[in-house]
A and B are shown apart, each in its own frame.
Chain A
């Protein structure tokens, strides 16, 4: 631009601004060009699409496309900060190979079909054999998406085979909360991270997996605050670097460490006698294990944990006895605020329920509960694992709002709220995830009684454990039919018989629920590509087709379609027809229909219109005298929870024992389901990395993320590598009893494993570590252990020909 042009430009800018001001255009909404920022996009609010932290982002939209992302400074969760995935979340919409049309497998090949045909095919498969149909969703389902799926299955098809992938990540946390407090989800909130003096991370790497929350803690140091970080882990990670203490334990012995702390609290007399007397009972497991166990006395409890002396714990775990004493002393101090943080390390554990109970137990025993900064807090890995999977209860045994299919009164309540005839809901729990897939991959004549499976918003072809058994077994089973709703080709679409192109994130309306009970709403901002459509719509369209085919379950008590919706004028809107789907706000109607379900367990979620105004609200949200709505930060604490009776400091008002008391559990240390031996001499742990989210379907298509972390690797101790004769970067074979993969060794890389351990991230669809992981599950939560199995390594070609390389998913 030369000088003359510049002057002319300035002149025009001034004149245009004035003209707009005169015409009143300058008063228009955000993103208007009148305020001097020329081509500024229009900004909208949305929660991030990735993890369970629930950061709010500002989405910059221009010409119908997402063009920029900012951290939302008004959001309490993240205060304007994001992580590298969050900053690039807008790019997930624009990967070049987005699925844009329904594809049906004919003669082994996926061929384009119309939506009508696709919906018809699914509906007819269901009509054929309604009980052999399974619905597999995820913690990335929005609340309305999970809710319609739940209603279709349980209130429509009287079929309880509905599961979320959250079974693979959160189930042990749920059973931990339910068996301890009688009700699911953390009592505290992220404010605990601002106020704790000590933060203990149990097998947790928040520096990479929940970076924004981790920054929330460590940035306190920049402000001169002191916070002691303790990393109890099986490998050194980026988190370790920020910690004062690193306690490296032998996998599975976290059970012993927790019991060791309990023992010290009692032996030293430093447990909180008053808290325990007033608010707790003691519990132990039955034979076989059960969710609620059987009572035990304090004396019995004392004797049970007495075995776990620091020396014995050291012997089991390898953590020096003095470090165990240090933990015991910290928990014994009431002047400190202690927060425990965990995620997959404790949940994906063949004794996941037990370790969850034990960590709650030491917090209760020591009275480190219920004050800001004193909290046992579990984090979630998916944006709506809490909101959808747990609260809407899209699990084989659950009903919305913390109800169970096995309980008659719960079924009656749901039938009433759904206005379906009594007895519509089946009392028999469906198959849990691993079982569901096992049944799907077993020939029908050998007891594989799941024949049609509909997968939404998740990638089981990569994320299920022991994929040969639980996913690839489907290959060649002619009467099995896999429907996958996806945004990109994935390891799951590879075996799908019908692929449905889905809308993603801000291409649709949505509501998520994050790790701190915060319900977050957003509006559709851009159009989905091609013929991609909302998952919520797909479910409703299938239901409508079933209704047309005469399935009686698709009618309520009054003979109306179960998803019938009216507009403000009282006219029915055919929302099952895509062009009419956005005539009304379907999300809002479904959510408002769901809201009364949340009242029984006092998980009152906020009205939709309040969510629109807020950056999420934490339930229970109650109406105040002045007509406003108030959220709750600290559940069960008298100073904050509106449902705690006047004058009580703590009240566990959904207590298992019905007397407002929580349960302190004893569970013994038990060995892992598979441990290293002479032949398979390494522990194998799997997990995530900062750059990629879960199976990488979205993040591997974001160039800055992929360039930073392009493929999976095998983390190995340098001495082990030297002994095996591997050099850094050498591609080697990793084998377990279930299969093998090839990947490069990375020594002294992102994390550092101790001798005898390996770590492999699971985001890489070309190096599927889940081909080799173990399918063993926690007996109570049915969640698989992805963190521990036995493996061996060798030079490429050293063993039998590769059983399985990564899938070729490109169409």
Chain B
């Protein structure tokens, strides 16, 4: 094929391209000026808006992201004015939040009556066991992670964070700095290998982990149950038993759990008489 033929072929397309470009240009210019015309009132209204939207003014479904879609009190969302963009802190994204901690959340109702059901509880306990090799093992991470940063973990796990139907539980122990030291993803982030039969064929393991009876002893019906598990690494009771948590206590408003619920000295390594401390000088207090 000759070169000129080739060019001829493209000619009709060229005309179409001019038309499309003209349309786009017109739209862009008019859009820009329409944006400039918008008054600052919308922006002022946005700025005075409280961080937590007043209850009842938003539709339920948009509660969690209500601050992303802003409009008049009931009207449709309005685009911000371009003229104001440069002046505002982070442009139109000033109050967009990608930090999950800062999303508006339902306040948990501490006083909601709950009727603990054995089945629901069992389901939670089962789900919990799936992530642990034995009672007391650090749970594995059921989602992909940032391989090199621990800071990312706390953006959700700093508080009990509800994300749709999932709950990112608050860290129940004091926050160590290096999360991945103990918690590893249950599936790797490393790229999978196609046809990798060698890895898949690793023999399984016969280890049977200890599962605690997971039921506190009550001295009598209605008495406060003892804590059936170790409190080692589980010092923050509300992480699992708080108002949002799956194993919710019937009385989440009470703060001092150990006042009524007794931990176990045996499980918590406090049975000093049968297991004395090392005889070496305690070195930390030199």
- Asked if A and B touch directly (CB within 8 angstroms), the answer is yes
Which of A's residues lie within 8 Å of B, judged by CB?
A: 1, 6-7, 10, 13-14, 29-32, 35-41, 43, 45, 58, 60, 62, 65-74, 76, 80-84, 87-88, 90-91, 93-97, 189, 191, 194, 207, 211-212, 214-215, 218-219, 221-222, 236-238, 240-242, 372, 610, 613-618, 628-631, 633, 690-691, 700-711, 713, 728-731, 744-746, 748-752, 766, 806, 810
Which residues of A have CB within 8 Å of B150?
Answer: 241
A7/B203 in contact, CB under 8 A: no
**CB-based nearest A residue for B184:** A708
Measured between C-beta atoms, what is the minimum distance from A248 to chain B in Å?
Answer: 15
Which residues of A have CB within 8 Å of B280?
Answer: 76, 614, 617-618, 629-631
B178/A710 in contact, CB under 8 A: no
The answer to whether B265 has its CB under 8 Å from any CB of chain A is yes
A806/B277 in contact, CB under 8 A: no
Task: With A701-B203, A749-B189 given, name 7 new contacts (CB 8 A).
Answer: A10-B218, A40-B266, A68-B137, A80-B269, A91-B207, A95-B205, A729-B192
B283/A96 in contact, CB under 8 A: no
The answer to whether A35 and B264 touch (CB under 8 A), given A222-B177, A704-B140, A713-B191, is yes
B204/A96 in contact, CB under 8 A: yes
B181/A211 in contact, CB under 8 A: yes
Residue of B134, B150, B219, B265 ringed by the most chain A CB atoms within 10 A:
B134
A191/B202 in contact, CB under 8 A: no
Measured between C-beta atoms, what is the minimum distance from A181 to chain B in Å?
Answer: 22
B284/A62 in contact, CB under 8 A: no
The answer to whether B108 has its CB under 8 Å from any CB of chain A is no
A221/B177 in contact, CB under 8 A: yes
The answer to whether B37 has its CB under 8 Å from any CB of chain A is no
Which residues of B have CB within 8 Å of A45?
Answer: 275
Interface positions, chain B 170-193, Cβ under 8 Å from A, are 174-178, 180-193
User: CA–CA, A629 to B279, complex, Å?
Assistant: 8
User: CA–CA, A746 to B201, complex, Å?
Assistant: 22
The answer to whether B213 has its CB under 8 Å from any CB of chain A is yes
Which residues of B have CB within 8 Å of A96?
Answer: 203-206
**CB-based nearest A residue for B270:** A73
The segment out of B66-74, B81-89, B220-228, B251-259 that lies at the interface is B220-228
A91/B176 in contact, CB under 8 A: no
**CB-based nearest A residue for B200:** A710
Which residues of B have CB within 8 Å of A31?
Answer: 266
Measured between C-beta atoms, what is the minimum distance from B132 to chain A in Å?
Answer: 9
User: CA–CA, A360 to B118, complex, Å?
Assistant: 63
Which residues of B have CB within 8 Å of A84?
Answer: 138, 180-184
Other-chain contact of B190, A82, A617, A749 (Cβ < 8 Å):
A749
**CB-based nearest B residue for A10:** B218
A35/B278 in contact, CB under 8 A: no
Interface of B is mostly: loop
Other-chain contact of A97, B149, B203, B207, B208 (Cβ < 8 Å):
B203
User: CA–CA, A763 to B93, complex, Å?
Assistant: 46
Between-chain CB contacts (< 8 Å), 29 pairs: A1-B118, A29-B274, A35-B265, A36-B217, A39-B212, A60-B134, A68-B134, A68-B135, A73-B232, A80-B233, A83-B182, A87-B133, A91-B205, A95-B205, A96-B206, A215-B176, A219-B176, A219-B177, A690-B181, A690-B184, A700-B202, A703-B205, A706-B202, A710-B190, A710-B196, A710-B202, A730-B191, A806-B198, A810-B203
A749/B147 in contact, CB under 8 A: yes
A65/B208 in contact, CB under 8 A: yes
**CB-based nearest B residue for A194:** B284
Other-chain contact of B188, A60, A629, A707 (Cβ < 8 Å):
A707
User: CA–CA, A750 to B149, complex, Å?
Assistant: 10
Other-chain contact of B204, A29, A93, A703 (Cβ < 8 Å):
A703
The answer to whether A222 and B182 touch (CB under 8 A), given A62-B210, A710-B190, is no
Which residues of A have CB within 8 Å of B201?
Answer: 810
Other-chain contact of A705, B149, B184, B190, B196 (Cβ < 8 Å):
B184
Residue of A241, A242, A691, A702 ringed by the most chain B CB atoms within 10 A:
A241
Measured between C-beta atoms, what is the minimum distance from B100 to chain A in Å?
Answer: 21
Which residues of B have CB within 8 Å of A88?
Answer: 133, 137
**CB-based nearest A residue for B189:** A749
User: CA–CA, A14 to B281, complex, Å?
Assistant: 42
- CB-CB nearest 5 A-B residue pairs: A729-B191, A67-B210, A708-B184, A94-B207, A614-B278
User: CA–CA, A66 to B133, complex, Å?
Assistant: 12
Residue of B133, B136, B178, B182 ringed by the most chain A CB atoms within 10 A:
B178
B283/A709 in contact, CB under 8 A: no
The answer to whether A613 and B276 touch (CB under 8 A), given A37-B267, A91-B205, A241-B148, is yes
User: CA–CA, A13 to B203, complex, Å?
Assistant: 41
User: CA–CA, A745 to B191, complex, Å?
Assistant: 8
Other-chain contact of A222, B174, B184, B271 (Cβ < 8 Å):
B174
Number of A-B contacts (CB under 8 A): 257
**CB-based nearest B residue for A743:** B193
B193/A744 in contact, CB under 8 A: yes
Other-chain contact of B206, A40, A94, A615, A709 (Cβ < 8 Å):
A94
Which residues of B have CB within 8 Å of A238?
Answer: 147-148, 178, 180
**CB-based nearest A residue for B213:** A38
A691/B277 in contact, CB under 8 A: no
B194/A731 in contact, CB under 8 A: yes
User: CA–CA, A746 to B202, complex, Å?
Assistant: 22
User: CA–CA, A60 to B286, complex, Å?
Assistant: 33
B182/A82 in contact, CB under 8 A: yes
The answer to whether B230 has its CB under 8 Å from any CB of chain A is yes
Which residues of B have CB within 8 Å of A237?
Answer: 148
Residue of B188, B219, B233 ringed by the most chain A CB atoms within 10 A:
B188
B148/A81 in contact, CB under 8 A: no
**CB-based nearest A residue for B147:** A750
B217/A711 in contact, CB under 8 A: no
The answer to whether B209 has its CB under 8 Å from any CB of chain A is yes
User: CA–CA, A760 to B204, complex, Å?
Assistant: 25
B205/A766 in contact, CB under 8 A: no
The answer to whether B199 has its CB under 8 Å from any CB of chain A is yes
Which residues of A have CB within 8 Å of B134?
Answer: 60, 67-69, 90
User: CA–CA, A570 to B208, complex, Å?
Assistant: 42
A711/B266 in contact, CB under 8 A: no
User: CA–CA, A505 to B134, complex, Å?
Assistant: 19
Measured between C-beta atoms, what is the minimum distance from B280 to chain A in Å?
Answer: 5
**CB-based nearest B residue for A710:** B199
Measured between C-beta atoms, what is the minimum distance from A31 to chain B in Å?
Answer: 7
User: CA–CA, A505 to B16, complex, Å?
Assistant: 78
User: CA–CA, A35 to B193, complex, Å?
Assistant: 50
Which residues of A have CB within 8 Å of B266?
Answer: 30-32, 35, 37, 40, 43
Which residues of A have CB within 8 Å of B138?
Answer: 84, 87
The answer to whether A13 and B217 touch (CB under 8 A), given A58-B269, A613-B276, is yes
A731/B193 in contact, CB under 8 A: yes
**CB-based nearest B residue for A74:** B277
Measured between C-beta atoms, what is the minimum distance from B248 to chain A in Å?
Answer: 19
